[in-house]
Amino acid sequence: METLLLTTEDADIRRGAQIIKNGGLVAFPTETVYGLGADAFDPKAAKRSYAAKGRPSDNPLIVHIAKTEELYSLATEVPAEALKLAEAFWPGPLTMVLPKRPEVPKETTGGLDTVAVRMPRSAATLKLIEYSGTALSGPSANVSGRPSPTSWLHVKNDLDGRIDAIICGDPSEVGIESTVLDLTEPEKPVILRPGYVTPEMISAVCGREVSYDPALFAKPSEDPSYRPKAPGQKYKHYAPKAEMLLFEGPEKEVLAEIKRRLKTAQEEGIKTGVIAHPDPRTFFAQLREFDAQGCGLILAAAPDDSEEFTGSLKFSLMNRMLKAAGYNIIKVGGRQNMKIAIASDHGGFVLKQPLVEHLKEKGYEVADLGIYEQEPVDYPIYGKKCAEYVVSGQADKGILCCGTGIGIGIAANKIHGIRCALLVTPFMAEMAAKHNHANMVSLGGRIVTPEQACELVDIWLETEEEHGRHDRRVALLDEM
């Protein structure tokens, strides 16, 4: 098959639309990454998309539309909340998951009864959708598992001879895939895939809390029976050909460690790529450039807290970097550079403020997640909040306080990747670090005094982890 290279001129876009109408595949530009377009209502076209990418057929395809009213042809229910979000963020990098109409084939939705929909920002792609006379399914236009394509050249390198045409537009300015928001959950909207549109931005429009799917805090599931609700939840993604190591810690120490390892790799004759200051707009392009150079190793610094990429946007970039590195993350730096998250309910409030002051005096950075005055609250909310903060990489470790330390610790341990240990005695504090590698601890306001709590936390933070057999057991915990 010859893959046509089309311009963004009107005649070429109409040519691409005719290919879509004939059941073909046309790659198109968007502000996030390039997509692989096919008729979203044609099950055979969906199968061709999966085949061209080498993508498993249970990995749902995102559907692209040119007008908000086209939602009604795809979804059985379009809540007022979805229309408010569309007005705020479309065209743009937000995908909404809604219950699908019967006309949308399950080949497009990966076998699910929901459909993921967004409106891209590219004028050329909006015309392509309009001229095609149909919504377009559009997974990233790359070989499945490889770094996402942010230019038409990336698409050509991966899919030349596998698809009918590529519309050669500008490079993608956002550089990471859209935020995927599930609006089918009755309690609150849930982010299935983080992106440029953050939970805070969505909450500001919806007027209610938005949460992350717990699957985001774990390695992609390898369970063959698991059916992902959004791309990136089950299979390997964004991977370069080279081994990639991700370093997290204070910037100065991270860069020193990368420099040391770069020197070792060069002495061993390993061609090595370095990402010292990751940027979501260029990250995937850098991975592809290192592959083109024949690098055998990539050394990358985790996102720092620059003014532009903080909080939830930093988490979105870190999500891609972790997947690209196969979760090979190396922590560097001294303990006094740790960031500690802390939260309590009313029963543990008596411990929280003394702990905050104590940790700051010791030189730790502290994120106080509440409560801020002693009033009755439900401890699971604060246990979950602090655990998600830790597991997302926004803090290195977490401390929880409630009446006994038991309930809030149980809540934290419901979050995949958290190992929360109850501290009552100095020996328990030592073992929590040494043998269990606890990344969170809980304490009881009715069990220990503030002075005892500070002592227990000091022991936990200052005890070195033992490895060997303990690594194996901790790995088993993390797999559960």
Alpha carbons 104 and 107: distance in angstroms, whole number: 8
* 345 belongs to the catalytic site: yes
Q: Which residues pair with 167 in a beta bridge?
A: 6
What are the backbone angles phi and psi of residue 82, rounded to the nearest 5°? -65, -40
Q: What is the DSSP letter of 219?
A: P
Task: List the catalytic residue out of 76, 184, 282, 470.
Answer: 470
Alpha carbons 29 and 122: distance in angstroms, whole number: 7
Task: List the catalytic residue out of 345, 401, 420, 437.
Answer: 345
Task: List the catalytic residue out of 404, 420, 437, 454.
Answer: 404
* 402 belongs to the catalytic site: yes
Paired tokens of 417: 């990747």
* 368 belongs to the catalytic site: no
Alpha carbons 51 and 47: distance in angstroms, whole number: 6
Find the DSSP H helices in 281-402: 283-292, 311-324, 349-361, 379-391
Distance of CA 388 to the CA centre of its chain: 13
CA neighbor of 246 nearest in space, from 330, 324, 326: 330
Q: State the first-to-last Cα distance of the chain, in angstroms, to the nearest integer.
A: 46
Task: List the catalytic residue out of 282, 416, 435, 478.
Answer: 435
* 467 belongs to the catalytic site: no
Q: Are 333 and 250 in contact (CB under 8 A)?
A: yes
CA neighbor of 162 nearest in space, from 135, 144, 137: 144
Q: What is the DSSP letter of 333?
A: S
Residues 6+ apart with CB under 8 A from 428: 421, 422, 456
As a dihedral over the C-alpha atoms of residue 174, residue 175, residue 176, residue 182, rounded to 10 degrees, the angle is 30
Alpha carbons 68 and 135: distance in angstroms, whole number: 11
Task: List the catalytic residue out of 168, 401, 402, 420.
Answer: 402
CA neighbor of 19 nearest in space, from 132, 124, 105, 108: 132
* 470 belongs to the catalytic site: yes
State the catalytic residues: 345, 402, 404, 435, 470
